[in-house]
Amino acid sequence: MTPRQPNTLLDALLDEAGVSHAGLAARVNAAGQARGLRLRYEHTAVARWLKGQRPRGQVPDLICEVLSARLRRQVTLDDIGLGVPGAPASPHTGSLSGFVDRATALWRSDELQRPHVLGAPAVTGTPAVMPVWEWENPPEDTDVSRGGHHRVSPDDIETLRAARTHYEHMYRKAGGVATRARVIGFLNNEAAPLLRGSYPDATGRQLHRATGALVAVAGICAYDSDAQGLAQRYFHQALRLAKSSGDRGLGAYVIALLVNQALFMREFRQAVAFAEAALRTAGRHITPALASDLYAMQAKAYAHLGDGAGALSCIRRAEEAAERIHRGQEPDETGYVQPGLVNVQVAEALLSLGDLTAAGEHAEAAVGTPAHDRGRVHRLAMLSQVELRRGDADKAVVTAMAMARLARGMESQRLRDRLRTVREHLLRSDCTGTREAAELIDLALRVPLP
C-alpha cells in the first residue's frame, strides 16, 4: 500500500486563514448542516486530512467553501490538495504555477516543523518512479516565464547560487542536521518570493536551475537527518525544477541523489534503473565525475543483488570515467566527486562480493587521498570494516579511532549510523584497544541531535 503524502497545501491555507484544526472542523460541520448533512468532525479529523487522508463525500467541497469565505477569494480543490481523488500528488502534475504553490507549501511546513511532514514515509512503487519517468519523457516546458510583483534579476539568481555553495560547505563540515533548518529558512525567505516573481523565459530557466540545485541540498540535509520521505519529496521537486530549467545534467545529478537514497533503503533494483535512466537520458550532458559516481553506485547495487558480472562491469566503467575528470570542466554540483570517492564506492561493492583483497586496496587508496572531513569519516569507516573482515583487527582499531576523533561535533544521522556499525563490528572482535576505540566512538555519538 502506497504511503499517504502530507497535504501541505491545506496546511498552508489554514495558516493563511488563521483557522485552527478545531476551528476548521466546526466550520465544516456548520457548512454541512446548511446542506442538510449531519457531520461531527473534530480536530483529530483535520489532523488526519493533513497527513494525507482524503475526506469523504462532499467534505472537500465544504472545506473549499469555508476557506473561500474566510480568505475572501475562490479556493478550489486543487488549491487544498484534493483535486485528484485517490492519487498522491506528484510534483510534476499540472502547471508550473501549481508546482510552485506545492513546493513552497512544503518548505513552509518543514520550517514550521509540522509532524505530519517530518514523519512522512518515503513512497515506493509507481509514485517513486513516476517523477523520474516524467523527467525523461515529453512534454518539455516550452515557456517558464511568469508575471509577478518582483522582477527577478541576475543578482537574485547569483544569490541563490552562492547560497547553494555556502550550505553545501556547511553540510560537509557540520552535517545535515545542523544545516537543514538554515537551508529551509533561505528557501522560504529568499527563493519562494523569486519563484512567484516576474521573469521572462530565459531568466526563469536560470532561476529554476539555481533553485533546483538549492532544493537538492535541502534534500541531502533531510536524508542526512533520516527524514527519508521529506528528502524524497525535495529530490522530486529538484528534478521537476531541473526539467523546467532545461538542464539535463542537473537532472542527472538529482537522480544520482535518488540512487544513493535507494541504496540506503535497500531498493537495489530501483537504484540500478534510476542510474540507467540518468545515463541514458542525459547522455552527453553527463560529466565524467557524475558518470563515475552513477556507475560506482550501480556497482554497489549489483553487488547487493549478487550480480558479480554486472558489478564488475560497472566498476570498470566508473574507473574509466574517473580518469577523464577535469576539475575546471565540472559544474559546482559534482564537486562532491572528490578524488578517492570512486575508490570507497568500489571498495563497498567488492566487500559485498567478498573480494577482500581488492576491497582493501581501494579502501586504502581512498583514505590515502585528501578529502573533506565528512568524506574522510566515511572512508575511514569503510577501511575499518574491510580490515576487520580481513582479520586485521589491530589495524581496524587504529583506523576506527582516527574516524571517531574526526567525527566529533558533526550532526549527521548517517554518520552516526556508520559509527555505530563500526563500533558493533569492533566489539565482536576480541582485540587490544577495542574498548578504547569503542569509547571514542561513544564520545562522538554523545553529541545530541536536535
Statement: residue 353 has pLDDT above 70: yes
DSSP-assigned beta bridge partners for residue 146 = 199
Q: At what angle do helices 308-322 and 341-353 cross, to 10 degrees?
A: 170
Q: Average the pLDDT over 386-404 and give the result.
A: 92
> Percent of the chain, pLDDT > 70?
96
Q: Average the pLDDT over 388-416 and give the result.
A: 90
Whole-number pLDDT of residue 88: 44
Statement: residue 180 has pLDDT above 70: yes
In sequence order, what are the residues at sequence separation of 6 or more whose Cβ sits closer than 8 angstroms to the Cβ of residue 411?
A: 174, 175, 176, 177, 178, 447, 449, 450
Is the Cβ–Cβ distance between 423 and 384 less than 8 Å? no
Query: What tens digit of pLDDT does each residue of 108-124 get?
Result: 999 999 888 888 899 98
Statement: residue 85 has pLDDT above 70: no
Statement: residue 312 has pLDDT above 60: yes
Question: Residue 394, class by beta-carbon neighbours within 10 Å (0-12 exposed, 13-18 middle, 19+ buried)?
Answer: middle
Query: Which residue is it, cell 552513477?
Result: 294
CA distance 279 to 248: 10
> What secondary structure letter does DSSP report for 187?
I
H or E stretch covering 143: none
CA distance 304 to 343: 17
**Cell digits for 398?**
587504529
Task: Give the pLDDT band (50/70/90) at residue 98.
Answer: confident
Is the Cβ–Cβ distance between 410 and 174 less than 8 Å? yes
Task: Give the pLDDT band (50/70/90) at residue 91.
Answer: very low
Task: Give the pLDDT band (50/70/90) at residue 84.
Answer: low
Is the Cβ–Cβ distance between 97 and 147 less than 8 Å? no
Return the minimum-mean-pLDDT range out of 36-45, 150-159, 218-227, 344-353: 36-45
Query: What tens digit of pLDDT does each residue of 406-443 get?
Result: 988 888 999 899 999 999 888 887 677 788 888 889 88
C-alpha torsion angle, residues 209, 212, 214, 215 (rounded to 10): 170
CA distance 366 to 224: 22
**Residue 296 identity (one-letter amino acid):** A
Task: Give the pLDDT band (50/70/90) at residue 86.
Answer: very low
Whole-number pLDDT of residue 184: 97
Statement: residue 342 has pLDDT above 80: yes
Is the Cβ–Cβ distance between 398 and 414 less than 8 Å? no
pTM of the entire predicted model = 0.86
Whole-number pLDDT of residue 89: 43
In DSSP notation, 279-335 reads: HHHHGGGS-HHHHHHHHHHHHHHHHHTT-HHHHHHHHHHHHHHHTT--GGGS-GGGG
